[in-house]
Amino acid sequence: MRGKFQPPTRAVVHADVRSARWTTVTVFGRIRRHAFTTPPFRHQPGTGGEFPDAPRAAAGRPRSALAAPSRQPPSPVQTGRMRTDLVSEPSELGFPNEDFVSVGLPASGLGGALVMLDGVTPPRGGTGCVHSVPWFTARLGGALTELSLSRRDLPLTEVLAGAIGRTAAAHADGCDLSHPRTPQATVVVARWDAETVEHLALADSVLLIERDGGEVTAHTDDRLARIPRERLRSAAVVDATLRNKEGGFWTAAADPRVAGRAVTGVVPRRGVRSLTALTDGAARWVEVFGRGGWADVVTLVRERGAAALVAEVRALEAADATARAFLGPSKTHDDATVAHLHL
């Protein structure tokens, strides 16, 4: 499917949560911004109700308690300025961008959350689904954003399971969700508050956590990268033996149980300077072209901006388009998305 002309989307957001309690920026071909100055709600675990796996500890709480804004002062978390730099570019102008990124600040008044997806482009042939990959990433990314922000009481694996289930329900009637190529995506989620930074990765997008001293740790799910090349000889073989199969690799498709396969972790919030998430189209700067390591990527993005990283990748791709010394058989360009959050 070919979409209408889709320009690169870039956003640099400076959120001062002392005056704007909630700022959400979603990049999916267009930018949406919301800023409300209403008082924040206090976090009340287990009162969401709409979520099938929600804990019921507070089930007896009267609804009026939910409706009434707390008179307590705002949480001491995230009371200063926070800088967010986002860029998302389609592989080629005129093609639909299958990546998704969103940032919510603050999540339930406590810190924030980052969601990034890379929709998997299917080979020619059926997918069992009438919907496009961007339709899927918008649904899954939207649900992940909403649940990661509103349901802090749930671990990220349950948030992902809920978002996959909600998205599957949106096309269960009429689409064959058991098809191995039903729309699917890689997932990165990071969520933080005063105490911790939670992170989750499924498939090959990467989250870089930078500490105050400059050390950078890459959090990713490298199961696909560790599979011997000879086992990846064709899309049909991969689908039959590896894709969402035991011993293979896992993507967020239509089965909520895959959330249990995600690579997750928690690090102390204290000492974390920044978070940087990359889809593999942007991570090529390290993984394909070897221009530096993960710490070098963070430095580049901090000093020159997320757009500069993607521009460098595009220049490297163009320079190697004929010789293919680095690209090999890979497509020349890929959707590339970068989110840099200076906490």
Nearer to Zn ion, 129 or 202 (CB): 129
> Given the complex with Zn ion, which of 139 and 243 has the nearer CB atom?
139
The nearest distance, CB 183 to Zn ion, in angstroms, is 7
Q: Which is nearer to Zn ion, 175 or 283 (CB)?
A: 175
Specify the amino acid at residue 105.
Answer: L
CB of 186: closest distance to Zn ion in angstroms? 19
Residue 233 is given by DSSP the state S
* DSSP designation for 293: -
What is the nearest approach in angstroms of Zn ion to the Cβ of residue 185?
Answer: 14
Q: Which is nearer to Zn ion, 111 or 183 (CB)?
A: 183
Specify the DSSP element, H or E, that contains 264. strand 263-268
Give least dist CB 168 to Zn ion, A.
Answer: 9
Closer residue to Zn ion in complex, CB, 148/184: 184
Contacts of 99 (CB under 8 A, 6+ apart): 88, 116, 117, 118, 119, 137, 279, 281, 335, 336, 337
- In angstroms, what is the minimal distance from the CB of 131 to Zn ion? 4
Nearest CB to Zn ion, comparing residues 82 and 133: 133
Backbone angles phi, psi at 320, to 5 degrees: -105, 10
**Which spans in the chain are helix H?**
63-67, 133-150, 156-170, 235-241, 280-287, 294-304, 306-319
Beta carbon nearer to Zn ion, 80 or 174: 174
Least separation in angstroms between residue 179's CB and Zn ion is: 10
Six token digits for residue 16:
């001062």
Residue indicated by tokens 């289930």? 165
Say how far apart CA 218 and CA 233 lie, in whole Å. Answer: 28
**Smaller CB separation from Zn ion, 171 or 340:** 171
For residue 95, the minimal CB distance to Zn ion (Å) is: 20
The amino acid sitting at 199 is H
Q: Are the C-beta atoms of residues 185 and 197 closer than 8 Å to each other?
A: no
User: Is the separation of the CB atoms in 140 and 252 below 8 Å?
Assistant: yes
Smaller CB separation from Zn ion, 104 or 134? 134
Amino acid at 84: T
Query: Which among 339, 313, 327, 269 is positioned nearest to 91, based on CA atoms?
Result: 313
Return the structure tokens found at 110.
Answer: 């406590």
Residues 6+ apart with CB under 8 A from 68: none
Residues that bind Zn ion (CB under 5 A): 129, 131, 171, 175
* Cα–Cα distance, 323 to 316 (Å, whole number): 12
CA distance 209 to 214: 10
